Amino acid sequence: MSYYLSSENHLDPGPIYVRENGQLHMVNLALDGVRSSLQKPRPFRLFPKGFSVELCMNREDDTARKEKTDHFIFTYTREGNLRYSAKSLFSLVLGFISDNVDHIDSLIGFPEQIAEKLFSAAEARQKFTEPGAGLRALQKFTEAYGSLVLCSLCLRNRYLVISEKLEEIKSFRELTCLDLSCCKLGDEHELLEHLTNEALSSVTQLHLKDNCLSDAGVRKMTAPVRVMKRGLENLTLLDLSCNPEITDAGIGYLFSFRKLNCLDISGTGLKDIKTVKHKLQTHIGLVHSKVPLKEFDHSNCKTEGWADQIVLQWERVTAEAVKPQETSEPRTTAQRFYGKRSRAEAPLKCPLADPHMNSSEKLQFYKEKAPDCHGPVLKHEAISSQESKKSKKRPFEESETEQNNSSQPSKQKYVCLAVDDWDLLNSY
């Protein structure tokens, strides 16, 4: 029996009983290695006990479930049955790249049509709202496509977006219109310094209404144009209204904007308005407007480009981040930037249109166009051309009457010509 227990290659004999002192006992095989050698080999199971498809799906996370279903398009037939079809290879590749858009090295030279679809796919996945990764992805698009990503940006009264997404805003290039009205930037804000960057030399319309600017801020903003002929040299419209710290000295820095066609300095701290009007007219040819100009109604500058929805996403994300922090959590970067005023306070309304301000009190200036560009002048020219035609007709008619009156004498003169004269005329 000991030989049988010590042997390794054997079949399981089952339980072993031994009669001892007239009683039957089962042998205890709790020896080392004996129990394992005598146990039956368990049958191989492909799935664990109690496995089902539903339990397997419950153990998976949402991302894994999305990866399984993201490759298919689910629709319903007329009978109400669920039908699915595989997505195209282009859609699958586009979705994969958009999920990892921040890892792209460069998009320079990439076709614009496909880049726009890639941008829309990344925007739908809200990749540009992610901190860090969103900035890297946005920079790849802006450095490759410039104004296609965004040609006009309106951040009016969105100071929270500016404070939270400053680096993303600075990544935009080749903007033509920028509205920063009612953002309380101040003279030392980083974005005001960025305005003089070469990347924003394409800006033609700039709205800086109600931004707590002073003469120092205007001097800093115009320094590259005055010294190096760079920066905002292509500026044609500038709104500096509702900045009471800007005085007569600050207006003198604006003379470097030679292409300026419209200027609004209403609500500034000017003292000698008559002298300022005279200087603006003599230096850059701007004339005071007696009626409000439509260029300053803040309806022309809108966010336009591929990234127009991204700005709305930024605003929604910042608004949601503010709500739980209003009572207990400490102040964030935006609160520290705006000093002691808490975010819980109601935002100040931007005085875009002051009904109490008369048109005579508004200091809006425009550059007179060439005479041939105005309708009334064209009418005047038409009248003068008609008069000139009439004046031409009058001497012509007078000459005709004179010819009729002198027709008889002239005939007599022609008759009186000599024969040699006739031969000379016939020779021609």
Domains: count for the chain:
1
- CATH at 183: 3.80.10.10
pLDDT for residue 411: 41
Q: Looking at the domain assignment, is residue 47 inside a domain?
A: no
Tell me how far apart the alpha carbons of residues 155 and 213 are, in angstroms, rounded to a whole number.
17
- The verdict on residue 162 lying in a domain is yes
Q: Is the dihedral of CA 36, 40, 46, 50 positive or negative?
A: negative
Whether residue 226 lies inside any domain: the answer is yes
243 within domain boundaries: yes
Residues 6+ apart with CB under 8 A from 383: none
Domain of residue 155 covers 150-310
Is residue 262, in this structure, part of any structural domain at all? yes
Contacts with 348 (C-beta within 8 Å, 6 or more apart), sequence order: 182
Please say whether the beta carbons of 253 and 230 come within 8 A.
no
Decide if 355 is inside a domain.
no
Q: Is residue 277 part of a domain?
A: yes
State how far the Cα of 369 lies from the Cα of 350, in Å rounded to an integer.
32
The pLDDT, as a whole number, for residue 309 is 93
Report whether 305 contacts 277 (CB < 8 A).
Answer: no
98 in any annotated domain: no
pLDDT digit string (tens) for the chain, length 428 residues: 444 444 444 455 667 777 777 777 777 654 444 454 545 556 666 656 665 545 444 444 555 555 555 677 777 777 777 777 887 889 889 999 999 999 999 999 999 999 999 999 999 999 999 988 999 999 999 999 999 999 999 999 999 999 999 999 999 999 999 999 999 999 999 999 899 888 899 999 999 999 999 999 999 999 998 888 888 999 999 999 999 999 999 999 999 999 999 999 999 999 999 999 999 999 999 999 999 999 898 777 899 999 999 999 999 988 888 765 544 445 555 555 555 444 444 445 555 455 455 555 789 999 987 554 444 443 444 444 454 444 444 444 444 444 444 444 444 444 455 555 556 556 54
